[in-house]
Amino acid sequence: MKLANYLAGKWVEGAGPGIELVDPVTGEELARISSEGADLEAALDFARTQGGPRLRQLSYTERAEMLGKIAEVLTANRDEYFRLSLLNLGATQADASFDVDGALYTMKYYAKIGRALGEGKMLKEGASVPLSKTGVFGAQHFLTPAKGVAVFINAFNFPAWGFCEKAAPALLSGVPICVKPASPTAWLAHKMVNDVVEAGILPSGAISLVCGSARHLLDHLREEDIISFTGSADTAARVRSHANVLGRSVRVNIEADSINSAILGPDGAPATELFDLLVKEVLKEMTLKAGQKCTTIRRVFAPRQTLKAFGEAVSSRLSSMKVGNPRNPEVKVGPVVNKAQQSACLEGLKKLESECSVVFGGDAQFQPVDADRQKSAFVEPTLLASNNGLASKYVHDVEVFGPVATLIAYDSSKDLIPMVRRGNGSLVASIFSNDTAFLREVVLGVGDLHGRMMAVDSSVGNQYTGHGNVVPSCLHGGPGRAGGGEELAGLRALLLYHRRFVVQGPVNCIKDLSEFCADANLLYA
């Protein structure tokens, strides 16, 4: 079976043998994908000239209603998405829910909040500015939907959510989208796009799908286009530095590698509520989607006197979790996405082990449940420990994109903050403490290098969203190594797909333009 591309309003099968998609548990081939021979330049032109104008003829409210219909179609096919997640990602029910249900919720969320923007065709930002003594000449800032294409280059770990969290704000903005899912797990994104296309909700040209290599896609982007990328920092650098992207100043949003941190405060002694909450959080982060989340905890900082007990508590729980074929209902941890990712994880683990001790796991030859170790792509959940985080290198630099975390001892905030900052920019850091002075010091000390900070104290208990959970109402992204991008954050996500400009002119002209606008202040509410 070869999965086709959807370009210029038609399904187009790529030439050649294509790229193989496999079951990471059995190693069996599932499908093939190819973009060879597809006219990507014509597809982008079709999206700009056909899809974009048709979307922009609609108001924000009308496009929000359109998102609501897409959400209904996707929800109706939820069971099939779970089936494909099992086959192509080796996902447990919990893994599939995190991706698929997260995607459905995000689409529904933007359908709901988008209706508040009303019947306008662009956004008026801020108050008008008088520029003359008599007030007849003034200025007004506006935000207008970009008249290009939003190109999504997505990561392998979230084929459903990665598609929806980008598509929802772009389509709500009135910008056509071109989806390029990561090749290893493209089947799920392909199925979702196919379902949307078959439902006939979007105007022709509003959505495109490229399966397989991106080939020369970036060569054909223009000044009015947008790239939204999720993946490795190395690939992100190639996207950013592409000659055409640089020459045309194409807008680029990047979400890349992230050495995320969780911090147990000095008051988090063993058997306390906060100690137990963080143990559960680390366990969840290491095992959900086999640690293949961009927000997963990679470093756990704990007071030196607490480190050993914390490691023992996490290890005790890991020892009872079965790793293997997710078709077995007793299995809680599935495989990584393929053999190449398994090899990458094991290579990174060797680097970490060169400067850390192994607290739990670390056996490259372990036997997963109901699976052939030679054919499958499992990585044993592994907990490491570092007693000298200040002297360590790999702990702060190597992201093992699998079920691996490292405990790091700290003696005071004076050494904790520099170590957390060694991540060089992360998506999220969480702090578990009742000490308000400690919380304040850490947030002020590392907040500038993180897109999201999560603080948990006893007043919150277990009523927090979770370290690794990205909620559409809050910012997702991070500076530095994490890519410097920003996604979601409610209606703020629409800013990526709009262009700001100012009109200087007669106040009556400005007033007339303003009547066709929604209030941009809603984006910042």
pLDDT in tens, the chain (525 residues): 899 999 999 999 999 999 999 999 999 999 999 999 999 999 999 999 999 999 999 999 999 999 999 999 999 999 999 999 999 999 999 999 999 999 999 999 999 999 999 999 999 999 999 999 999 999 999 999 999 999 999 999 999 999 999 999 999 999 999 999 999 999 999 999 999 999 999 999 999 999 999 999 999 999 999 999 999 999 999 999 999 999 999 999 999 989 999 999 999 999 999 999 999 999 999 999 999 999 999 999 999 999 999 999 999 999 999 999 999 999 999 999 999 999 999 999 999 999 999 999 999 889 999 999 999 999 999 999 999 999 999 999 999 999 999 999 999 999 999 999 999 999 999 999 999 999 999 999 999 999 999 999 999 988 999 999 999 999 999 999 999 999 999 999 999 999 999 999 999 999 999 998 999 999 997
Q: In the annotation, is 356 catalytic?
A: no
Given its phi and psi angles, is residue 215 left (phi above 0), alpha (psi -120 to 50 degrees) or beta?
left
How far is it, in rounded angstroms, from Cα 483 to Cα 373? 35
The radius of gyration computed from the CA coordinates of the chain, to the nearest angstrom, equals: 24
Instruction: Write down the catalytic residue from 164, 178, 211, 255.
Output: 255
Q: Six-digit token pair at 302?
A: 């704990």
Whether residue 128 is found in the same domain as residue 31: yes
The CATH number assigned to the domain holding 71 equals 3.40.605.10
Type of residue at 180: K
Last residue of a domain, one of 473, 493, 508: 473
HSE-up (13 A, CA, CB side) for residue 275: 18
Q: Please report whether residue 134 resides in a domain.
A: yes
Tell me the residue range of the domain where 177 lies: 2-256+485-524
> Quick one: 269 and 250 in the same domain?
no
Predicted TM-score (pTM) of this structure: 0.96
Residue pair 474/452 in contact (Cβ under 8 Å)? The answer is: yes
Nearest CA to 163 among 120, 110, 200?
Answer: 110
* 211 catalytic residue (yes or no): no
Burial of residue 465 (number of CB atoms within 10 Å: 0-12, 13-18, 19+): exposed
Sheet holding 517-519, edge to edge: 498-506, 137-145, 122-130, 517-519
Instruction: Say if residue 343 is in the same domain as residue 206.
Output: no
Dihedral in degrees, nearest 10, Cα atoms 418, 420, 421, 426: 180
**In contact, 467 and 309? CB cutoff 8 Å:** no
Same domain, 119 and 240: yes
363 with 499, same domain: the answer is no
Please identify which of the residues 164, 178, 211, 294 carries the catalytic annotation: 294
Domain count, the chain: 2
Contact 288, 95 (CB under 8 A): yes
Residues 380 and 502 in one domain: no
Whether 209 and 108 map to the same domain: the answer is yes
